Amino acid sequence: MKLDRPEIADTLALKRRGWTLALLTLTYFFSFMDRQILAILLEAIKADLKLSDTQLGLLSGLVFAIFYATLGIPIARLADRTSRKRIIAISLAVWSAMTALSGFAQNFTQLMLARIGVGVGEAGAGPPSHSIIADLYPPEKRASAMAIYSLGVLLGGGLGMMIGGFVAHAYNWRVAMMVVGLPGVVLAIIVWLFMAEPRRGLSDAQRAMDAPAAMPSLGDGIAAMWRDPVALYLVAAVTITSLVGYALTGWGPSYMQRSLGFSMLEVSKYVALPAALIGSTSALLGGAAADRAAKRYGLHAQSWVVAVFKVVAFPFAVGFYFVDDPRFALASYFIAALFAGAYLGPTFALIQHLAPIRLRAVWAALTLLVINLIGLGLGPFLVGKLSDHLQPSYGTQSLRWAMLCVALLTPLAIFAYWRAGVVMRRRDATATL
C-alpha cells in the first residue's frame, strides 16, 4: 500500500525526532550560554564600566526579560500558524549576533541596548521548541524529552560561565562575549536546513481529531489557561522557582568571589562545569522519575515528583549561604544542584499536556511570559537592589544576605507543585466516573 504525502511526512518527522530534539537542545544551550555568560563577567564589567549592583541586576534580569517575555506572545501566535523551525533559526541568528555586539559596549546604555537585542532574539526560541517537542513525543515520554531539552539550560549556563571566565581571564570580557556569540550564527543555518517540522498534534492523534478546525484566538488561549487551576498552580510554581534560580545563578559567581574568596578563573575551573553536569543529571533524573511515576500513578504524580526533589534540595541550597569554608560551601551547593534541576522537564511537559493542541506555543509563551517577567526580570534585580540596600550595614557580605532572602521563597514553590498534583488527581478521578 502506497503512503500518501502526509503519512510520509509524519514517518520522516518521527524518524528524525532524535535529531530534531538534539538541535532544539543545542539551540537552547546557545540561548542560555549567551544569556548567562553575563554572570561570570559581572565583576569585570562592573570594574570596567563603573556600574552599581542595581545596574548589574537590571542588565542580568529586567532589561533582558521585558523584551524576551513580551515578544514571546506574538511570536508564539506566529509559530502556531507558520513554520516553527524557521522562526527558531532566525531568532538564534539575531540573539547570537547581539551577544557578540555586546563586547563593543562602552557604557551602561550601550550594553543595555545590546542585551535588549539578545532578549528580542531569544523570545522566538522557547514557545516553538516546546510545541515541536510536544508534537514529536507522546505524553508518557514527554517529560523525559523535555528534560533532555532542558539540558540546554544547565549545560549552557555552566559552560557559558566556564568559557566566558577562561576567555575573559586570557583576554577580557569583551572578547568573551564575541567568542560565545558568533558560533550561534552557524548553528542557525543548520537549524534552517535540517530540522524537522512535525504536523501539529502528531503524537496526540485523538486530541488532534477533536481540536477545532478554526485557529483559536489569543484571548481563547489566555482564557483557557486562566480557567485551568492545574495550569495556574504549575505556572506559579515554576515562576517562583525561576525567580529564585535566576537570582541565585545570576549572582552566584559574584558571591563566590566576594564572600568565599574565589577568583573569576577559579569559579570557571572548579564550579561551572561540575555544576552544569550535576544539574544536567538532576534534569534527566527528574524527567525519568516523572515519567515512571506517571505510568504507575497517573500524570498528576509528575508534579509531586518535582515537589519531593525540591524539598530535598532546599536545606542544602540555604546552607550554602551559612558556610564560610569554600569546600563545605561548594559541597552544599553541588548537593542542592543534584536535585534542583528536576523541575524543568516535568513542568513544561505537564503544561504542554494541558494545553489545547492548537495553542501549545501560546501556552508555552504565556508561561514563559510570567516566568521571565517575574523570575528573570525581578530575581537578579531584587538581589542587586537588596545588596545595595544592605551594604551600609553588612559591607562586602551584603550580597550573601540578599541572596539568602530570595532563596527562602522556595517553600512557596513546593506548595504550588504539591497543590497542582492534588487538583489534577481529583479532576482525573472525576473524569473517569
9 falls within a domain? no
**Diameter over CA atoms, the chain:** 79
Lowest mean pLDDT: which of 29-38, 60-69, 296-305, 328-337? 60-69
CATH of the domain at 277: 1.20.1250.20
Nearest CA to 244 out of 337, 383, 367, 39 is that of 383
Residue 414 lies in a domain: yes
Counting the structural domains of the chain, the total is 1
Give CA–CA dist 216/373, Å, rounded.
Answer: 25
pLDDT value for 1:
39
Domain range for 413 is 17-431
**Separate counts of helices (H) and strands (E) for the chain:** 22, 0
pLDDT digits (tens, 9 = 90+) for 170-221: 999 999 999 999 999 999 999 999 888 888 777 765 554 545 555 677 788 8
Residue 24 lies in a domain: yes
Residue 2 domain flag: no
Q: Any residues with CB less than 8 A from the CB of 106 and at least 6 apart, and which? A: 49
- pLDDT exceeds cutoff 70 at 275: yes
Whether 302 shows a pLDDT value over 70: the answer reads: yes
Give residue 2's pLDDT band: very low, low, confident or very high (50, 70, 90).
Answer: very low
Radius of gyration of the chain (CA): 21
102 part of a folded domain = yes
Q: What is the DSSP string of 8-36?
A: HHHHHHHHTHHHHHHHHHHHHHHHHHHHH
Chain-wide mean pLDDT for the chain? Answer: 86
Least confident range of 67-76, 276-285, 312-321: 67-76
Residue at 60 is within a domain: yes
CA angle 207, 370, 98 (to 5 degrees): 105
Q: What is the mean pLDDT of residues 74-82?
A: 82
pTM: 0.74
Task: For residue 370, count other CB atoms closer than 10 A to its CB.
Answer: 16
Q: For the chain, how are helix, strand and coil distributed in percent, rounded to 5?
A: 85, 0, 15
- Cα separation of 188 and 78, whole Å? 19
Supply the pLDDT for residue 432: 61
Decide if 1 is inside a domain. no
Taking residues 278-292, report their average pLDDT: 89
Task: Kindly state the percentage of the chain with pLDDT values over 90.
Answer: 38
Residue 5 lies in a domain: no
pLDDT digits (tens, 9 = 90+) for 371-382: 888 887 788 888
Instruction: Quote the CA–CA distance of 396 and 115 in Å, as a whole number.
Output: 27
